[in-house]
Amino acid sequence: MIEIRQLHKHYDTAQGRVQVLKGIDLEVQAGSITAVVGPSGAGKSTLSHCISLLEKPSSGQILVDGKDLSILSGKALRAERRAIGTIFQNSALLRRMTVAENVALPLRNLGVVHHEMEHRVAELLERVGLADRANSYPGELSGGQRQRVGIARALALRPRLLLSDEATSGLDPEATAQILELLASLRTDLGLAIILITHEMDVVRHIADRVAQLDGGRIAEYGELR
């Protein structure tokens, strides 16, 4: 289970301190999807960067199965970061690498042996429905396919939490539906906890179990959808 407790984040700027997150509490059970929605400026990106451990919160905790990851740095952070897989709006694939090489990257960085890596990559591409595109380059794929490669890469290290940061923004409705269906299947088949950060309310209605409405750095409303 993922628990975010009293997360605060401020930035010190030339104009003074900007308090962006003002005490966020959020719990996401394994096998469930929580959406975080909110208007531009609400703090969604900042929250996303804190949860994916790209930025350190000013205070508060990010607990994965009881372990606070927000206080780690260096080697310990690198080791624990794999508990959280992130998919981004632009999928962030490397253009000069094939689909298979992109998905293999996290495994390669970890020093996973070659045959194990090949096996994992094949399994991951199968899971996202792109087994036949292993040797394609990102530029040869549609936006939705690229996003599915991004999902396969995010799953490579078997995270507990999958964080989707505006992953369907910019996709057409059909590709969006496919990505949402895939995320719903990952929740069910792998028991992943999923956090969907989005400004698209439609996306939320389809698959989220719970919705947190972020406004002015606080959770203004929190509700169950099913």
> Which residues here bind ligand ADP, judged by CB under 6 A?
11, 13, 18, 20, 38, 40-46, 123, 155, 158-159, 190, 192
Residue 16: CB minimum distance to ligand ADP, A: 10
For residues 138-172, one letter each, b for 16 or more C-beta atoms within 10 angstroms of the residue's C-beta and e for the rest, the string is beebebbbbbbbbbbbbbbbebbbbbbbbbbeebe
Q: Which is nearer to ligand ADP, 44 or 148 (CB)?
A: 44
Per DSSP, what are the bridge partners of residue 16?
Answer: 13
Q: Which is nearer to ligand ADP, 96 or 114 (CB)?
A: 114
C-alpha 1/C-alpha 103 separation (Å) is 25
Residue 199: CB minimum distance to ligand ADP, A: 8
C-alpha 46/C-alpha 115 separation (Å) is 38
Q: Which is nearer to ligand ADP, 11 or 222 (CB)?
A: 11
Taking Cα atoms as reference points, which of 28, 126, 137, 155 lies closest to residue 93?
137
Residue 52: CB minimum distance to ligand ADP, A: 13
Residue 139: CB minimum distance to ligand ADP, A: 26
